[in-house]
Structure 1
Amino acid sequence: MIKEEKNTQTKSKDKKQTPIIEIKDLHKTFGKDNTILKGVNLTVNKGEDLVILGRSGSGKSVTIKCIVGLIEPDQGEISVFGENVLNLSKEELNKIRVKIGFLFQSGALYDSMSVRENLAFTLRAHRRDLNDEEVENEVADALESVGLADAIDKMPSELSGGMRKRIGLARTLILKPEIILYDEPTTGLDTITSKEISELILDIKHKQKTSSIIITHDMACAKMTADRIMVLKDGVIHAEGTYEELEKNEDEWVRSFFE
């Protein structure tokens, strides 16, 4: 009886929780007949790291790009911080975007700029109130948070793949986002570096209280970072649960990710 009452209380508490991201019935087709999303529904709660799994081309990256307006869906609703971003003006959407960090697969650094200049450029574009000394301090703090303070004057071409990921993350963190969208954060990295990036994702979550969606093929990363996992198949969410739950899922296709 006590156990049942506890479960009931937990469910009641969950119902009161307002998702920080909520996607309803999201559809997207490219060209005439390349349908990628066929009605995706998902939520991310405040302080949660949600991992999305799926085969290549299943629409994982398309989904998160729709959240920040990099891709416009054909149908559906995307609510971020309680606002439907698809109904916002460009100015209103930009205010939301400042609160959302997006880590691209490549890190997306400007090759002609030093690490210092990459981070300062991003900060000045959104924080015109800061003077040069304040910008320098923010850049130094962001690099310190990813363990690369010594790389401040390096050029992107001098950085390893793992370092580029960290610098890309520092550039994302410099705006102190409430949400971070990670697109394949460990792709192309060796096992040790991948683990370091996964640990960094967890560290950021705990220190900065971020909420995240993590797109990955790296099951070690998924196991380490996920509070909850969703699996995309044929344009919809096919399965959902914790790593341990999905690892034992009755669906052989779902279990294949965990073998």
Structure 2
Amino acid sequence: MIKEEKNTEPKSKDKKQTPIIEIKNLHKTFGEDNQILKGVNLTVNKGEDLVILGRSGSGKSVTIKCIVGLIEPDQGEIIVFDENVLDLSKDELNKMRVRIGFLFQSGALYDSMSVRENLAFTLRAHKRDLSEDEVENEVIEALESVGLGDAIDKMPSELSGGMRKRIGLARTLILKPEIILYDEPTTGLDTITSREISELILDIKHKQKTSSIIITHDMACAKMTADRIMVLKDGVIHAEGTYEELEKDEDEWVRSFFE
């Protein structure tokens, strides 16, 4: 378990590993004085699921959106696959994004497209040399990996919230990403469906050897999926450890997440 002061770098539990993601001194302010990130430092090792906790508005989602260039930070470094994201050209960034899956809170499906069309559209945008048969096979494989092969011809409006999350995840998986960023993957779902999504996150990690950052308020999801947890407070990493370590933390504010 590690406690962090502002603008200090969290200690790594495994010095021998080269992080697949490393964020150094990340700052982001919106408007004139809404400073969200004040020097975030974090690492994700290959094959690790890192959960980030924090109150609403603490900058959790901002942090992962900076990783894929959806938000541009004011200061800091974001090293992914040994490259600084902030130094990449637009083409280089797009190539990196293919290796990084991002699951949005809503699932972000195109409402005017069927499930098949949603997944095929993503695949064709990045792998234009595939034949129609190859696209179809990839779509079926991705849907079966999330247990929804029979939903291929449905429209998003016909799907439950949990199904939309699964289809969104299938669309992410179809590009075979090495890293997946989950933004509140169980928000708005009932307890049973939330558990199913958490189990799916673990299954994907083990079968596809992905590394992940999981943003969540769902402590059951955090307990099930996290190899390590970081807690954001006042724009910096305030505490780090396993679920069991942070559950017994001396800091009452940290413990409040686990009550």
The reply to whether TM is greater than 0.5 is yes
Return the offset for 1:129. 1.2
Write out per-residue CA displacement over residues 214-253 of structure 1, whole angstroms, 9 at most, x where no aligned residue: 0000000000000000000000000000000000000000
Q: 1:204 to 1:33 in 2, by over 3 A?
A: same
Shift of 1:256: 0.1
Q: 1:2 to 1:103 in 2, by over 3 A?
A: closer
Deviations along 1:29-50, one digit per CA (max 9) or x if unpaired, are 0000000000000000000000
Q: CA deviation at 1:3?
A: 25
Label 1:199 to 1:66 Cα distance change in 2 as closer, same or farther (>3 A).
Answer: same
Per-residue deviation, 1:117: 0.1
What per-residue deviation string (whole Å, max 9, x for no partner) do you get for residues 83-118 of structure 1? Answer: 001001001111110000000000000000000000
> SS at 2:61's partner residue?
helix
Q: In the TM superposition, what is the alpha-carbon distance from 1:7 to its structure 2 partner?
A: 28
The runs of 4+ residues in structure 1 deviating greater than 3 Å are 1-13
State the TM-score, normalizing by the size of structure 2: 0.95
Q: Residues 5, 215 of structure 1: CA spacing in aligned structure 2 closer, same or farther, 3 A cutoff? A: closer
How many angstroms apart in 2 are the aligned matches of 1:5 and 1:114? 49
257 and 18 in structure 1: CA distance in 2 versus 1, 3 angstrom threshold: same
Shift of 1:14: 2.5
Q: 2:30·2:36 contact (CA, 8 Å) conserved in 1? A: yes
Could you say which structure has the higher helix fraction?
1
- Cα 1:234–1:13 shift into 2, 3 Å: closer
Structure 1 CA distance for aligned equivalents of residues 213 and 28 of structure 2: 19
Give, in whole Å, the separation in 2 of the partners of 1:12 and 1:166.
33
Q: Which runs of 5+ in 1 are unaligned?
A: none
Q: Distance in 1 between matches of 2:239 and 2:110?
A: 38
Alignment partners' CA distance in 2, 1:143 and 1:37: 36
Does the 8 Å CA contact 2:3/2:240 hold for their aligned counterparts?
A: no
Cα deviation 1:150-207 (Å, max 9, x = unaligned): 0000000000000000000000000000000000000000000000000000000000
TM-fit CA distance, 1:11: 11
3-state secondary structure, aligned to 2:192: helix
Closer, same or farther: CA 133–251 of 1 in aligned 2, 3 Å: same
Q: Which moved more, 1:198-207 or 1:7-16?
A: 7-16
* Aligned-pair identity (%): 92
RMSD in angstroms over aligned alpha carbons? 4.8
